[in-house]
Structure 1
Amino acid sequence: MILIALVLLNITFAQKSTVGNDIKMYEQVWDNIVNKDQIDLIKDKNFDSNITLISQPENIVGIEAFKSFYQNYISGFSEKKFTIVEILSQGNKIVKQWNFKGKHTGTFFGIPPTGKSVDLSGVTIAVMKNGKIAQEQDFMDSLVFLQQLGLVSDPNNTTIVDNLYKAFAKGDIPTALSYMDTEIVWNEAEGNKYADGNPYIGPDAVLNGVFGRVVGEHDFFSLDGIELHEMSNNKVLATLRYKGKYKNGKEYNAQVAHFWTLKDGKISCFQQYVDTKKLNDALNK
């Protein structure tokens, strides 16, 4: 019985030692690959010759294919920081919770540099075999990734623009301004009298140079028939009409388009397109 107990104890100790070595090796290899750009560590010393990345539409199999896949991250991003937040193991499986930060300054799976910064978190399940990494499967929010790259627009963008219009319609200017980035770049259409201050930088400049003047120079002013069109790269196109009456008693009804750009839930840029002839004709009569 004592002999059996000693054998079991030795087996348990050996298993714990193997697991500990696997985790240490795994953390070090991926830290060097991503944070130190040592892509050549993807070789048979650290990875099983049939290393498999579980993915869609088909798995990536083999060291060269695996290396080629991750080369996109190494060359596609600068200012990289890969952090293993937590790592656990059970048997030959390793589960890691990770965070990746970087700036998209190189070609990434054929996507030209966007200059966008990403901050992603996810989980990877890895399988070890004879002290080498044999299989990996990543779990992360790909939609968030694409949104951060600016390739897919945030679904909340149209809601933000719509809320600004609704606040403006109610005369709630502070709320309308709250949807703007502190460094918003605002441009009125060329030929519009309010374009004399282009570009207006920041909400206060928009308030004083545009909103305040519009209110002060009109008996009434409204935005009618607003239709919002979601576009790629976090942009929203609005088509509408201006209906207004200047203090001189002259009215106008003009076709308008607004081009909004959003970033991190705030409006960062605005470009107006309007039939300035109608506006100026009414102003000068």
Structure 2
Amino acid sequence: MKPLKTIIVMLLLLSISTYNCNAQDVKADVEKMHQLYIEMINNSNLENIDKLYTANASIRNSDATMINGLENIKNQYKATFDSGTFTISLETTDVSQLDDNHMFVSGTFVYSKTDEPKGVLKGEFVNTLKNVNGDWKILKSYRYLETTDNASIINSVYELFSKGDIPAVLALMDDEIVWNEAESNSLADGNPYIGPDAVLNGVFARIGERYKSFTLKDVKLHEMSNNQVLATLHYVLEMKNGKTYTIQAAHHWTLKDGKIVGFQQYADTKKLADSEKI
């Protein structure tokens, strides 16, 4: 008969071996599910949703909105796929099994729209998975975007504008940006300008036609709460007759997920009006 100590050691080794085997199986199942999710996003394949989510699943989007129920989740993905094509990569950072039927999975993602090279979103996800008839599915999903330095984005706007790289400036704007010129500014006749094309044609193009040169100086950025940035600055306007005006201004920017969604100009509109009389 084997000594009791030997039997205990053998049982312990057996349990460790069984645990490691189960852990590897679980991680393999998670990676298989993640590959299914990547295939869904990269190929706009709605058929994978039933394989990925439980009937009562919920999603907390990166903008803090909540989607509850499989049909609503399908509708959200359909609207996303109707707006364009996307790619995503996932990296699993932790897998923790709670019991035979539930586990936590966390990781990081990089998500981008294929026709918008600058529209890349990075962040983290935390999912609760449920075992449904032998298949692991998402019960709850939480997405969090990587913290963005909004002031640095707005600083890029001014640097790009100063270089004359207007396409790059427009690329930093949300598709539904709401842009308002200061009241009594002649460019305010189109307020609000909705979308980058409206800003380009209604504001930037008219500035290019009106002035010999339009430059900015003394730009100071002030990070505010709720994804807002205040900029104080001066415009230096060189008229086509050679006369120059320096005009005090302030810009109030609003951002969401690294994109500019709102702009409000404040300016010395009397000086702007005086410059236009020449």
Q: Kindly report structure 1 stretches of 4+ aligned residues shifted beyond 2 Å.
A: 1-17, 76-81, 85-90, 94-99, 119-124, 245-251
Residue matched to 1:154: 148
Q: Give the distance between the partners of 1:239 and 1:195, measured in 2 at CA.
A: 19
**Superposition deviation, residue 218 in structure 1:** 0.4
Residue matched to 2:212: 219
**Superposition deviation, residue 170 in structure 1:** 1.1
**Superposition deviation, residue 180 in structure 1:** 1.1
**Superposition deviation, residue 182 in structure 1:** 1.6
Residue matched to 1:238: 231
Change (3 A) 1:9 1:178: same
Q: Give the distance between the partners of 1:200 and 1:223, measured in 2 at CA.
A: 22
Give, as a single letter, the amino acid of the residue that structure 1 aligns with 2:166.
I
Residue matched to 2:246: 253
Q: Deviations over 1:125-158 (max 9, x none)?
A: xxxxxxxxxxxxxxxxxxx96x89xxxx732x11
Residue matched to 2:261: 268
Identity %: 46
Unaligned runs of 5+ in 2: 19-55, 59-63, 74-92, 108-122, 129-142
Give, as a single letter, the amino acid of the residue that structure 2 aligns with 1:270.
F
Q: Deviations over 1:191-220 (max 9, x none)?
A: 111111111111111111111110111011
> Could you tell me the TM-score, scaled by structure 1's length?
0.52
Corresponding residue SS for 1:190: coil
Which of 246, 264, 281 does residue 274 from structure 2 map onto? Answer: 281
**Superposition deviation, residue 221 in structure 1:** 1.1
Residue matched to 1:121: 125
Residue matched to 2:157: 164
Corresponding residue SS for 1:247: coil
Q: Deviations over 1:249-280 (max 9, x none)?
A: 54321110000111111111111000100010
Aligned residue-pair number:
188
Change (3 A) 1:10 1:267: same
Q: How large is the RMSD of aligned CA atoms in angstroms?
A: 4.3
**Superposition deviation, residue 164 in structure 1:** 1.1
Which of 79, 93, 106 does residue 67 from structure 2 map onto? Answer: 79
Residue matched to 1:44: none
Give, as a single letter, the amino acid of the residue that structure 1 aligns with 2:213.
F
Give, as a single letter, the amino acid of the residue that structure 2 aligns with 1:263.
K
Greater gyration radius:
1
Alignment of 1:1-285 (within 5 A): 1=1, 78-79=66-67, 87-88=95-96, 96-98=104-106, 121-122=125-126, 154-155=148-149, 157-285=150-278
Change (3 A) 1:36 1:279: closer
Q: Give the distance between the partners of 1:269 and 1:6, measured in 2 at CA.
A: 71
Q: Give the distance between the partners of 1:77 and 1:278, measured in 2 at CA.
A: 44
Q: Give the distance between the partners of 2:231 and 2:213, measured in 1 at CA.
A: 21
Unaligned runs of 5+ in 1: 18-34, 38-75, 100-118, 125-143
> Could you tell me the TM-score, scaled by structure 2's length?
0.53
8 Å contact from structure 1 (residues 241, 255) kept in 2 = yes
Change (3 A) 1:36 1:173: closer
Change (3 A) 1:231 1:215: same
